[in-house]
Amino acid sequence: MALLKIARMGHPILSSVADPVDDPTDPAILTLIENMFDTMLDAPGVGLAAPQVHVPLRVVVYYVPEGRATEAEEGGAGVDLSALINPVLTPLDADTDMAREACLSLPGMSGLVPRFKRIGVQALDLTGKPFAREVSGYHARLLQHECDHLDGILYPMRMDDLTSFGYNEELSLRESDTDDQASVDGPEEDMTGEVGAE
Ligand code: ZN
């Protein structure tokens, strides 16, 4: 087990576009993914992108906690630890919803972010095998957040209205925000409510 250092907002690697993985079967990629799983779970978070651990490659790890998955899609059972190599996301329609996101690279903060509700995902899995699927709800939001890291985009750059952005300790004083608390790659303890409109 190796825990990797997580870059915080302001570090140039978080605003850089990451490179595609040339050889997904390179053992170094599997080692990176295993270390990213360890780092994400230790943080704790539900997603982590390679640039967040100072590696400029298009690799994302995540899981969807039980109860966070949409009923229709995963039967509410969640999604096990997963890795995406060279992911490409495509919105399936123009529908968006709004929910609160946090990020391991902006510790202690959160904000309301609009995201597409339904997306197509094409990627290689951790064995280098290509796959494609459609995801929705929290799963779709999580992947949009993580894949944005591969293009140097942090969630505040996706916000329409920065008045909902701030430190959780201060925001928790505002009742109106507690209905839509949702964490993306942020700490588990922030995940106190429902993801936007499902
Ligand atoms: Zn993040």
Q: Is the pLDDT of residue 83 over 90?
A: yes
Among residues of the chain, what percentage have pLDDT more than 90? Answer: 77
Separation of CA 28 and ligand 1 centre (Å): 23
Q: Which residue has the higher pLDDT, 196 or 25?
A: 25
pTM for the model stands at 0.88
Instruction: Tell me the DSSP string of 38-84.
Output: HHHHHTT-SEEEGGGGT--BSEEEEEE-TTTS-HHHHTT--EEEEEE
CA of 107 to the centre of ligand 1 (A): 10
Q: What is the pLDDT of residues 47-80, one digit of tens each?
A: 999 999 999 999 999 999 887 766 556 566 788 9
The neighbourhood of ligand 1, an ion, using CB within 5 A, equals: 103, 185
What's the CA-to-centroid distance between 174 and ligand 1, angstroms? 23
Higher pLDDT, 194 or 49: 49
What value does the mean pLDDT take over residues 28-39? 97
pLDDT value at 87 more than 50? yes
State in Å: Cα 147 to ligand 1 middle. Answer: 9
Does pLDDT of 18 surpass 60? yes
Q: Which residues contact 31 (CB under 8 A, 6 or more apart)?
A: none
Q: Where are the alpha helices (DSSP H) in the chain?
A: 27-42, 71-74, 137-150, 168-171
Per-residue pLDDT, 193 = 36
Instruction: Indicate which residue of 66, 134, 146, 189 is catalytic.
Output: 146
- Report the candidate in 190, 69, 81 with the shortest Cα–Cα distance to residue 137: 69
71: annotated active-site residue = no
The percent of residues above 70 in pLDDT, for the chain, comes to: 84
- The set of residues, in sequence order, having a beta carbon less than 8 Å from that of 127 and lying 6+ positions away, is 25
**Ligand 1 centroid to 25 CA: how many Å?**
26
pLDDT exceeds cutoff 60 at 34: yes
* Residue of 88 and 181 predicted with greater confidence: 88
